[in-house]
Amino acid sequence: MDNPTSSAASQDYGAQAYVSQAIQGDDAEVQLGQLAQQKGSTSDIKELGQKMASDHTQINQKLMVPVAKRLGASQPKGPSKKEKKAIQKLQSLSGQQFDTAYIQLIDKDHQKDLKDSQEEAQSTQNPMVKQAAQESATVYQKQLQLIQQIAKDHNVPVTGKEISSLR
């Protein structure tokens, strides 16, 4: 039979891992958004980058960092190695190549972020983490709709599911 204390501890660990990964991912999205503002070849890509940087800064400042502090979770400083590699790859591109790679990358990232946030909102017993995950999922869902519309406008194929099928 499980010890309730160890179950609670594993719940906290799962919540801490989710929050730490969310902070790291949001940091990457901010850097990617700033890159899109600089390198995007059209105004809608530049505006999308600005929105991504702004939204993900707010998610971290208003939701994830305060929750991490209350949970005692680590707060990564910047993107993961994998995310840094993706940012470096995008830095080497320009024009339509940049736009296409950026759209495809953030579509894929936001599909994963939405799924992770929805799963955390369902599984966590911590009301603070549940609220942060639900609010983040709402933002990711809106962002995905915008990303997919811009992808369609630019004739960029995205491998993610249509947003309506994610519910």
- In the numeric block, which tokens belong to residue 8? 């609670």
Alpha-helix residue ranges (DSSP H) falling in the chain? 4-39, 43-58, 65-71, 81-91, 95-123, 127-153
* 10 band by pLDDT with thresholds 50, 70 and 90: low
* 160 band by pLDDT with thresholds 50, 70 and 90: low
From the CB of residue 141, how many other CB atoms can be counted at a distance below 10 Å?
A: 17
Q: Looking at residue 3, what is its pLDDT?
A: 37
Q: Which residues of 114-124 are buried (b: 16+ CB within 10 A; e: fewer)?
A: bebbbebbeeb
Q: Does domain 9-166 have CATH number 1.10.390.10?
A: no
Q: Looking at residue 164, what is its pLDDT?
A: 41
| Domain ranges across the chain | 9-166
Q: Looking at residue 1, what is its pLDDT?
A: 37
Torsion of CA 39, 138, 27, 23, to 10 degrees: -170
Instruction: Calculate mean pLDDT across residues 28-53.
Output: 97
* Rounded Cα–Cα distance for residues 28 and 82 (Å): 10
Write down the pTM of the prediction. 0.88
CB-CB contact of 102 with 34 (8 Å): no
Instruction: Calculate mean pLDDT across residues 92-120.
Output: 96
